[in-house]
């Protein structure tokens, strides 16, 4: 197992290098001078030149890249061009937010998705199955930002049950914190529940067809026992790995939901940084998300091997 993990970690390095190169080049190709955006309405040429020198924007591109990578390896992700806060500080302050949102969304998705998937598989072909499928697909098909705005209108403005936007940190006030995250978590979770439901359903169907299930049934065990004890446990394997992967996607993907609900997470930070041409932030965040994604992929693979003893050959 250990060698497996090490091997995977090593092979992740060239991928990370590629990601960093790619993000770096893309940022530099964006039209629009960040220095100009920074220099504001007054546009003093002396100031702009000073800023270019300060952020080494006059250096040839390869040199800028090397300089950036060198800093990253020392733990310095640069500073936000807009507010001069270190990118690491930004990442550290936003990561818990995005993680909490991702966890809540995942919980909602699991709570809705798995039972629906199980019921759907057991009642395959009936109208229940059909309805559940449409429901799941709806979750995937609805535009997040639209659903978000509709929910704000209903729950925040009309009913006044929940705050319309903003965020209260976990440490400050748990109750308020959950209230601010419930709607965005629901929007994200609803979409994910569809994916989870369908995967649960197909995993369950696979398992239900298997021989050992038929054996259990033949032995006379109650259907429910069969389902819960045997089928579900084995169906959980791909679900676990899928969940890990989804978590990784959530880390960087809640872009529009965070925008609509003003949740200060990674997604919002990236979008703002792209529009403000805040290079350091975009590079830092994408690199961070890529690392997270690769690590989670590795975790999914490890879990897969752990849960399924048949694969433990490495």
Partner 1 sequence: MTSLAHPVVAQKESLKPRTRSPFVKKFLANKGAVVGAAVLILFVLAALLAPWIAPHDPLKANFLAVRKAPSLIYWLGTDELGRDLFSRLLWGARSSLLAGGVSVAIAMVIGVPLGLLAGYFGGKLDAVISRIMEALLSCPFLVLAIALGAFLGPSLTNAMIAIGLSAMPIFARLTRGQVLAIRHEDYLEGARAIGLPDRWIILRYVLPNVLSPLVVQATLTIASAILAEASLSFLGLGQQPPSPSWGSMLNTAKNFMEQAPWMSIAPGVAIYITVLCFNLLGDGLRDALDPKS
Partner 2 sequence: MKFAHLMTTTLLLLAANAAVAETTLRIGIQDDPDMLDPHRSRTYSGRLVYTALCDKLVDVNPDLTFVPQLATAWNWSEDGKTLTMTLRDGVTFHDGEVFDAAAVKFNLDRARTLPDSLRKSELASVESVDVIDAKTVAIKVKQPDATLISQLSDRAGMMLAPKASATDVASKPVCSGPYKFVQRVQQDRIVLERFDNYWNKQAYHFDKVIFLPIPDTSVRLANLRSGDLDIIERVAPTDVKTAKADSHVQVFSTPGLGYMQLMYNTNNGDKANNPLGKDKRVRKAFELAIDRDAINQVVFEGLYAPSAQPFPKNSPYYDKDLPLPTRDVEASKKLLAEAGVKTPVSVELKVANNPIAQQVGQIIQAMAEEAGFKVNLIATEYATLLNEQQAGNFQIGMSAWSGRPDPDGDIHQFVTCKGGQNDGHFCDPKLDELLNKARTVNDQAQRQALYFEALRLLAEDVPTSYLYFDPRIIAMRSNLTGFVPNPDGLIRLNNVAFK
> Smallest gap, in angstroms, from Cβ of residue 180 to partner 2?
9
Phi, psi of 129 (to 5 degrees): -60, -45
What does the alpha-carbon distance between residue 176 and residue 69 come to, in Å, rounded to a whole number? 40
User: Tokens 């090593």, residue?
Assistant: 10
Could you count the other beta carbons within 10 Å of the beta carbon of residue 106? Answer: 22
End-to-end CA separation in angstroms for the chain: 6
Q: Rule CB under 8 A: is residue 282 a binding residue for partner 1?
A: yes
Pick one of partner 1, partner 2, none as the site partner of residue 142 (Cβ within 5 to 8 A by kind).
partner 1
19 binds partner 1 (CB under 8 A): yes
CA–CA distance, 314 with 307 (Å, rounded to integer):
14
CA distance 298 to 296: 5
Shortest reach from residue 130's CB to partner 1, in Å: 7
Q: Using CB under 8 A, which residues numbered 120 to 159 contact partner 2?
A: 149, 152-153, 156-157
Interface with partner 1 in residues 127-166 (CB under 8 A)? 130, 133-134, 137-138, 140-146, 149-150, 153, 157
Binding mask 79-118 for partner 1 (x = CB under 8 A): ----------------------------------------
Q: How far is CA 28 from each of CA 20, 67, 83, 218, 290, rounded to the nearest angstrom?
A: 12, 14, 20, 66, 19
Using CB under 8 A as the criterion, which residues of the chain lie in contact with partner 2 when the complex forms? Answer: 31-34, 36-44, 46-47, 50-51, 54, 80, 82-85, 90, 93, 149, 152-153, 156-157, 160, 163-167, 259-262, 264, 268-269, 272, 275-277
């Amino acid at each position: 197992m250990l060698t497996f993990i090490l091997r995977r970690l090593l092979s992740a390095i060239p991928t990370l290098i590629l990601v960093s190169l790619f993000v770096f080049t893309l940022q530099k190709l964006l039209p629009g001078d960040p220095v100009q955006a920074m220099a504001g309405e007054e546009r003093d040429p002396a100031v702009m030149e000073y800023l270019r020198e300060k952020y080494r924007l006059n250096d040839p591109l390869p040199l800028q890249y090397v300089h950036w990578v060198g800093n990253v390896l020392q733990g310095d992700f640069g500073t936000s061009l807009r507010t001069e806060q270190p990118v690491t500080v930004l990442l550290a302050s936003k990561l818990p937010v995005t993680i909490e949102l991702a966890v809540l969304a995942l919980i909602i998705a699991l709570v809705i998705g798995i039972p629906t998937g199980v019921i759907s598989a057991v009642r395959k072909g009936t109208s229940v199955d059909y309805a559940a499928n449409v429901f799941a697909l709806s979750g995937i098909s609805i535009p997040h930002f639209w659903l978000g705005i509709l929910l704000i209108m209903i729950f925040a403005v009309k009913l006044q049950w929940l705050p319309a936007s903003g965020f209260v940190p976990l440490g400050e006030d748990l109750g308020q914190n959950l209230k601010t995250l419930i709607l965005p978590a629901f929007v994200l979770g609803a979409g994910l529940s569809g994916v989870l439901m369908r995967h649960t359903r197909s995993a369950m169907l696979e398992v239900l067809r298997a021989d050992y299930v038929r054996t259990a049934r033949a032995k006379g065990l109650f259907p429910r026992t069969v389902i819960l004890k045997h089928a579900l446990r084995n169906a959980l394997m791909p679900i676990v790995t899928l969940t890990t992967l989804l978590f990784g996607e959530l880390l960087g993907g809640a872009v529009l939901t965070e925008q609509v609900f003003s949740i200060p997470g990674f997604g919002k930070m990236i979008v703002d940084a792209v529009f403000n041409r805040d290079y350091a932030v975009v590079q830092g965040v994408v690199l961070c998300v890529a690392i997270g994604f690769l690590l989670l992929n590795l975790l999914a693979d490890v879990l897969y091997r752990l849960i399924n003893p048949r694969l433990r050959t490495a």
